[in-house]
Amino acid sequence: MKELQYNIREFGSGYRVYVGNGKYRKAATKLAAENIVAELQLAQKIRGQEMAKISAPLLAELLKQYERCTEAGTTLEEAVDHWVPLFKARTKSLPLVDAVNEYLEEAKGRLKPPTLRDKKQRLTTWVNAQPAKDTTVVDACDVEILRGFLDDERERTSDRNHRNIWLVISAFCSWCLRRNYLTENPCRRVETYTRGSHDEIAVFLPKQASALLKIAVENYDREVLSYLVLSLFGGLRPHEFITQDKSAVWHQLDWQAIGKDIVKGTRLGKTRKARRIPVGPTLLKWIQFIRKKEGGKLTGPVVLNYSFYQRFRRWKRAFVPDSIVIEKDVLRHSYGTYRVVKLGEVGKVAVEMGNSEATVRSHYLNGERSTREANQFWALTPESLKKTTNSGQ
């Protein structure tokens, strides 16, 4: 262990010992000063021994971070230096709702009422999307979490609204930056979309879907598992679980609307078109599994409120490995792809998914997935996952 150097100097009629960080300790005699040094060195040795006895999980995490730094061509010390400013901002950071209220209060004197109302409406939507009322500015402005929220808004409304809310949040973040609530404006690292831009179609392989479902069962959360299986095996769009109408009223998909079919009403989703999606054998078994977990009864909304989507992202970050990428609409696209392969009827799948036949052909009828893969996908029931887990032990 590297020994710390303590300087003993004469100071007035006595001595003082420099202990670091611009601090000194005074001593009447040189012997007393040397005793202070011995005491400090002993304390350092004890701290080193305590660090050597840290728990196995913490030691594993430290080694993991050390390896990540080494692979990135940097040191753990440099990484800590990089994160210290963010940590300081985090300790100073206000709850998001308080910061937004302070920002809007300051804006009253310089913005016209219509502009102020627009900012308030958009920032309130952002605040309501947070997983907890005390979510801080720093947590809400995590780049990946913020990007996810803006993607939600794009899916729920339009590319134009996505751009507008991005501008409002960016202005708020710049205000936070000037008050040291943030160390950077995260919007500079979040993409905006031009009108008509589209994402590529991503589809899970059966083994990827299986791995994701195993994680969801092992780390059970009713809303999360319900969202995953109704999207994977029912083809629901992300915002057909909960939608806000033009009157700012939220509408949710209730368990009562799920029987032999999923009855998707006109108030849910951006397209506002009603449709019925058949509950097939695979989805039925997952619903029965969740019902049993919940004591035999499922009532109320499938997703309780809009903050679910941000909570789901944090769930992914906590439990889902980097090898499983839950891209936008990948769950629904997996349903469409394997449904077309199974049925071979583009028209029927188009009706079930609320798409045109041309869209279904271009997205899903591409020959990239085989009948064998489709059979594997539709065989992903709770029982099959349990058998796979047991056979792997």
CATH class for domain 206-392? Answer: mainly alpha
pLDDT tens series, the chain, 393 aa: 344 456 788 888 888 887 776 678 888 888 888 888 888 888 777 776 666 666 777 777 888 888 888 888 888 778 777 666 655 555 567 899 999 999 999 999 888 999 999 999 999 999 999 988 889 998 999 988 999 898 888 877 777 788 899 999 999 999 998 888 888 899 988 876 544 445 567 899 999 999 999 999 999 999 999 999 999 999 998 888 988 777 778 888 999 999 999 988 877 766 667 788 899 999 999 999 999 999 988 999 999 988 999 999 999 989 999 889 887 789 999 999 999 999 988 999 999 888 888 988 888 887 778 999 999 999 999 999 887 766 555
Alpha carbon dihedral 371, 374, 379, 381, in 10-degree steps, equals 180
| Cα(393)–Cα(389) distance, integer angstroms | 7
User: What letter does residue 379 receive in the DSSP assignment?
Assistant: T
Domain with CATH 1.10.150 in the chain: 96-189
Per the CB < 8 A criterion, the answer to whether 159 and 195 are in contact is: yes
CATH 1.10.287 applies to domain 96-189 = no
- Residues in CB range of 208: below 8 A, 6 or more apart: 324
Domain with CATH 1.10.443.10 in the chain: 206-392
| Cα(52)–Cα(62) distance, integer angstroms | 12
Query: Residue 240: which of 249, 224, 227, 259 has the closest Cα?
Result: 227
| Cα(181)–Cα(94) distance, integer angstroms | 7
- Per-residue confidence (pLDDT) for residue 58, from 0 to 100: 76
The model's pLDDT over 152-162, given as tens digits with 9 standing for 90+, comes to 888 777 777 88
Number of Cβ atoms within 10 Å of the Cβ of 164:
16
The model's pLDDT over 85-102, given as tens digits with 9 standing for 90+, comes to 655 555 567 899 999 999
Per the CB < 8 A criterion, the answer to whether 116 and 108 are in contact is: yes
User: What letter does residue 254 receive in the DSSP assignment?
Assistant: B
DSSP bridge pairs for 252: 242
- Order across the sheet with 14-20: list the strands: 8-11, 14-20, 23-27
* C-alpha count within 13 angstroms, C-beta hemisphere, residue 303: 30
| Cα(185)–Cα(256) distance, integer angstroms | 43
